[in-house]
Structures are given as structure tokens and as C-alpha cells.
Amino acid sequence: MAGIYIHVPFCKTRCVYCDFYSTTRGDLKQRYIDALCEELTMRRDYLQGETVRTVYFGGGTPSQLEEEDFRHVFDTLSDIYGLDACEEITLEANPDDLTEDYIAMLRRLPFNRISMGIQTFDDATLRLLNRRHDARQAIEAVGRCRRHGFR
């Protein structure tokens, strides 16, 4: 069994506690997606025929990507490994990115799980951490994701 982690380094803002590599330079997204798909293709033999069971988009903030970005990555993964046996495809997301429209877009893609970066439901702590959402937005985002069938 194999799992693939895809790092998406883009963030709208930097959180003061975060040690992961990220950038606020959204103008680099397309170049990054193209380079990522190139590298996936170059490493096509890396898994030596193992079946891919999980794909995890982490970050940064993968919910900064658009549908066409994800489609390019999923098309590449599908061409190389096939995703038919994939049991779990996860997207890390910030609560304030998870609008009705964005969640509907995610449902058109193979995602079946969302890992939401809430951190806390205490608004003062969220402000201290430079998070973009508040507790109410986080609770509403969880509800929207559940209504759309995400785990």
C-alpha cells in the first residue's frame, strides 16, 4: 500500500506558529503546479507498481488552489498510478476558504476527506496566531463540509 503526500506551499497570510515551508506569492501557483506534475511524471517508477491507497494535499494551504490546478494534478496522478483503488483523498483547508462554492467544486473532484486547520475555537487565540477565521466561521465550515458528505 502506498500513500502520496503533495505539499502545496501557498498561503494568503503566514501564521506566526507555522514552521512549514510556505509562501504568500500566489503568482507562482501555475509554475508550481506545472513543476509538480513534471516531477510526478519523472518519478513515475518510484512506487514500483504499488497501489496508491491515499493521497494527501498538505501545506501551506492547499485550499488556495483552484479547480483547474487540482484537475491537472489529478489527471497526472491518474495517468501514472490510477486512482481507482484510492480509498482516501484528503485536502487540508482553512475554514474561511470553505465556502459553499468551493466545497461544491471539491465535490466535482476525487476528494472525500477534508482536514480543517481550526487550531482553536477561542477567537482571542486565533487573532494572536494570525489566523484568518474566527470560531463562528470554523463551526459553519464544518457544517457545510458535513452537508456535502465530506469526512
Domain residue spans of the chain:
2-147
Domain formed by 2-147, architecture:
Alpha-Beta Barrel (3.20)
Predicted local distance difference test score (pLDDT) of residue 24: 80
pLDDT exceeds 80 at position 74: yes
Q: What is the mean pLDDT of residues 45-56?
A: 94
CA distance 66 to 10: 12
CB atoms within 10 A of CB 110: 14
Model-level pTM?
0.92
Cβ contact 4:53 at 8 Å: no
The reported pLDDT for the residue numbered 15 is: 67
